[in-house]
Amino acid sequence: QAKAAGRNTYRFFSPEMLDQVLERAQLVDDLRKALHNKEFLLYYQPQVTDKGEVIGAEALVRWQHPEKGTVSPAAFIPIAEETDLILLLGQQVLETACQQLLDWSSRQGYEHLTLAVNISVRQFQQVDFVEQVTELIQRYAVNPKRLKLEVTESLLMDDEDILLTAEKMEQLQALGVGFSLDDFGTGYSSLTYLKKLPLDQLKIDKSFVSDLLIDAQDLDIARTIVSLGHSLNLAVIAEGVENQEQQERLAALGCFSYQGYFFGRPLPIEAFHQWMENL
């Protein structure tokens, strides 16, 4: 930026910029300590069908900060992704998810649930990512069919060889692990990639769901995603469903799986179990 401003222009760190840099450095430092102190935990949000059956949950990470309380991932995932911390965090999340699947495998009424885990691009691109997942599946005797990995379109757009990405996904899929394409419609997936990659599910981003009833364009996009899913033989789930009208409109489009506050908010595990008991 300084360079673009021209040869004879001098740029200094303003006090505000310095504050930002220090604040970021502090956050990185705090994150590192938090990982060491195991301050991250998972919340679980139910995924349901139009019949009201719970088919699974998405694991969503929270930072249980000793002073700040519960911190949302939006406040720390982007910073973690700029550093190697996302690799450690991602691994902790995956391990906790596998532990939870082990617990559910012997808990009556939970055996069939799938658990969806968000995977960052950098995490997926580690050379040993397939080995990491395989090792956790074995260590916790997880039925791989219960584990679903949520990846975003950015994984398909990143410079890494798409063939390598496809190969890793195929190796995991061969074990039985499922793949869901998260926030679908907000990126720039090419249809060729969508066809070539071993995906199982498209997840309609909540930005399209929120205005479904009032914005004809969002409705058209949702409809297009549903029919694309059907054409490619992929399941389709909608996120961010907040009321019955949205759910009914989605059903009319042919989307019969949902996640959103209308059904249940993300909850700590005890509260999630409580929620399941009260159904």
221: left (phi over 0), alpha (psi -120 to 50) or beta: alpha
When asked if residue 93 is in the footprint of ligand C2E (CB under 6 A), the reply is: yes
260 binds, among Mg ion, ligand C2E, none (CB under 5 to 8 A by kind): ligand C2E
The correct pick among 63, 114, 168, 182 for binding ligand C2E (CB under 6 A) is 182
Contact call for residues 196 and 166 (beta carbons, < 8 A)? yes
Contact call for residues 125 and 158 (beta carbons, < 8 A)? yes
| Structure letter (DSSP) for residue 145 | G
Distant-in-sequence, close-in-space partners of 271: CB < 8 Å, separation ≥ 6? none
Count H helices, E strands: the chain? Answer: 12, 10
Query: Please, what is the minimum distance in Å from the beta carbon of residue 7 to ligand C2E?
Result: 41
Nearer to ligand C2E, 41 or 162 (CB): 41
The single residue listed with the structure tokens 């769901």 is 209
Nearer to ligand C2E, 122 or 223 (CB): 122
When asked if residue 232 is in the footprint of ligand C2E (CB under 6 A), the reply is: no
Of the candidate spans 171-179, 231-239, 250-258, 263-271, the one that interacts with Mg ion by CB under 5 A turns out to be 231-239
Nearer to Mg ion, 16 or 242 (CB): 242
The single residue listed with the structure tokens 């995603």 is 225
Contacting ligand C2E within 71-90 (CB under 6 A): 72-74, 77, 90
Angstrom distance (rounded) from CA 100 to CA 42: 10
Q: Pull the structure tokens for residue 140.
A: 């916790």
Of the candidate spans 84-92, 142-150, 153-161, 252-260, the one that interacts with Mg ion by CB under 5 A turns out to be 142-150
- What sign has the CA pseudo-torsion 83, 84, 85, 87? positive
When asked if residue 153 is in the footprint of ligand C2E (CB under 6 A), the reply is: no
When asked if residue 242 is in the footprint of ligand C2E (CB under 6 A), the reply is: yes
Angstrom distance (rounded) from CA 237 to CA 192: 21
The correct pick among 85, 113, 124, 150 for binding Mg ion (CB under 5 A) is 150
The correct pick among 208, 239, 258, 267 for binding ligand C2E (CB under 6 A) is 239
Residue 35's closest CA among 73, 111, 91, 81? 91
Residues that bind Mg ion (CB under 5 A): 118, 150, 182-183, 239
Residues that bind ligand C2E (CB under 6 A): 45, 60-61, 72-74, 77, 90, 93, 118, 120, 150, 182-183, 206, 239-242, 259-261, 266
